Amino acid sequence: MTKKYETPLLDELEKGPFPSFVTEMKKAAAKNPMAADELGLLEKSFRDKVTYWKHGGIVGVRGYGGGVIGRYSQLADQFPGVAHFHTVRVNQVAGLFYTSETIKFLCDLWDKYGSGLTNFHGSTGDIILLGTVTENLEPLATILSMNGFDLGGSGSAMRTPSCCVGPARCEWSMIDTLDITYDLTQEFQDELHRPQFPYKFKIKTVGCPVDCNASIARADLSIIGTWKGPIAIDQDKVKDYAKKGMNIQEEIVNMCPGKCITWDGNSLNINNADCLHCMHCITKLAGALKPTPPFGAVILIGAKAPFVIGATLSWVIVPFMEMKPPYQELKDLIRNMWDWWNEYGKNRERIGELIIRRGMREFLEVCGLEPTPEMVREPRNDPFWFWKEEDLEKKPWEEFLK
């Protein structure tokens, strides 16, 4: 028998039009004592405005430095079911595709070894299995691995890479996000499971600049599909949009950040040299416009949530990289930046913060990258062009004074 708690405050969250996690927790609580006590503890937390969770501790699976986040309740006497309530991160499938059989397997497994409460998927991208006890961790990891699953990343490690659905479902995908994610996950198993960095490192891959995974804001390394060819235009389809009431001038031309589109009421023209590859026109005129090859990716560095410094968006370091298996150029670049970060990074310093502290110039040198205009983040900001002593000896200005 599971214990029942009165939950007047949580019940408030079942009112209103949206699905409620409280309803789902009650369903789990009906058959699982851990979920029941979690419900009771949460009600108390709401009432007292205190969370009652202790953080951290040493729990894990042999050989792994991450994947399990230790959680203990401060009120173990009152709510014994949540005395231990560890979170397990499981490496999700790239693009989040599962058969219903797989989902059932994971749910049954969690009913047996945990609280039955899950989160598909957590902010990290992983499958989140919420609430289990220390004794269950080893058997759980073994069963997961026998069924083709593995723990995800946590701590000062490469985190489980994630991506958008990409070419599996989306016509705009210009790179194989699923293959890149799978390949990087396999390549960097050590970095994923054996924390060896100053802090976390996230890689997210999206097929185009629409960026459905918000990689530009959420990943230390963002890989964003892009194109180099001209935007192909089907003029008849553009005219259809106009006929159906779209104000092409207002909605497309005036909103193009590159100011490179013209429309004379009959035909649409794009000055591709000035295009900023933002995807605005292409998504608004779906079917009428499309990017053309060569396809590749922009590589950006350094996004993170506020911590030591405020939130940052990632920063272009490679304007265009071909993305063909085995992605050697990308892997070499990643290894170079990790070596530098490991050498100079302070504890809990993200790579983007280290770049701000030691300078983009040094970072580019370490990565073997030439400064390019695409790296300039905002007008009048430093374009990282620095003269060295030996450059000046060659008197480069004489070239311009002729």
Partner 1 sequence: MEKEELKKAIYQLIEQSAGKKKYKQADVIKHFRQQGIPDADTKAAIRELIDAGDLIYTYFGGSYIELGEKRKGA
Binding region for ligand SF4 (CB under 6 A): 164-166, 170, 172-173, 206-208, 210-212, 256-258, 260-261, 270, 275-282
CB 162 within 8 A of CB 155: no
- As measured in angstroms, the least distance from the Cβ of 351 to partner 1 is 13
Nearer Cβ to partner 1 (315/341): 341
Residue 325 contacts partner 1 per CB under 8 A: no
- Considering CB distances under 5 to 8 angstroms, the limit depending on partner class, which of ligand HEM, ligand SF4, partner 1, none binds residue 170? ligand SF4
Nearer Cβ to ligand SF4 (107/214): 214
> How many CB atoms are closer than 10 A to CB 252?
22
The residue type of 45 is S
| 343-372: contacts with partner 1 (CB under 8 A) | 343, 347-348
Beta strands 203-206 and 162-163 are parallel
- As measured in angstroms, the least distance from the Cβ of 113 to ligand SF4 is 33
For 46, the 3-state DSSP assignment is helix
- Considering CB distances under 5 to 8 angstroms, the limit depending on partner class, which of ligand SF4, ligand HEM, partner 1, none binds residue 79? none
Helix (H) or strand (E) holding 163: strand 162-163
CB 55 within 8 A of CB 49: no
- As measured in angstroms, the least distance from the Cβ of 91 to ligand HEM is 15
Nearer Cβ to partner 1 (89/277): 89
- As measured in angstroms, the least distance from the Cβ of 393 to ligand SF4 is 42
User: Roughly how many angstroms between the first and final C-alpha of the chain, as a whole number?
Assistant: 91
Nearer Cβ to partner 1 (23/196): 196
Nearer Cβ to partner 1 (16/306): 306
- Considering CB distances under 5 to 8 angstroms, the limit depending on partner class, which of ligand SF4, partner 1, ligand HEM, none binds residue 245? none
C-alpha span between 54 and 75 (Å, rounded): 10
Under 8 Å CB-to-CB from 234, ≥6 apart: which residues? 287, 288, 289
- Considering CB distances under 5 to 8 angstroms, the limit depending on partner class, which of partner 1, ligand HEM, ligand SF4, none binds residue 56? partner 1
- As measured in angstroms, the least distance from the Cβ of 237 to ligand SF4 is 15
Burial (CB count within 10 angstroms: exposed 0-12, middle 13-18, buried 19+), residue 98 = middle
- Considering CB distances under 5 to 8 angstroms, the limit depending on partner class, which of ligand SF4, partner 1, ligand HEM, none binds residue 51? ligand HEM
For residue 17, what are the CA distances in angstroms to 28, 81, 286? Answer: 21, 31, 32
> How many CB atoms are closer than 10 A to CB 129?
27
Cis geometry, peptide bond prior to residue 291 (ω within 30 degrees of 0) = no
- Considering CB distances under 5 to 8 angstroms, the limit depending on partner class, which of partner 1, ligand SF4, ligand HEM, none binds residue 194? partner 1
Q: Which of 191, 205, 196 is nearest to 125 (CA)?
A: 205
Under 8 Å CB-to-CB from 250, ≥6 apart: which residues? none
Residue 196 contacts partner 1 per CB under 8 A: yes
249: DSSP letter: I
Rule CB under 8 A: choose which of 80, 195, 258, 371 binds partner 1. 195
Nearest residue to ligand SF4, using CB? 207
Q: What are phi and psi of 214, to 5 degrees?
A: 50, 40
Rule CB under 8 A: choose which of 80, 105, 194, 240 binds partner 1. 194
Applying CB under 6 A, which residues contact ligand HEM?
51, 119, 122-124, 128, 380
> How many CB atoms are closer than 10 A to CB 6?
9
- As measured in angstroms, the least distance from the Cβ of 76 to ligand HEM is 19
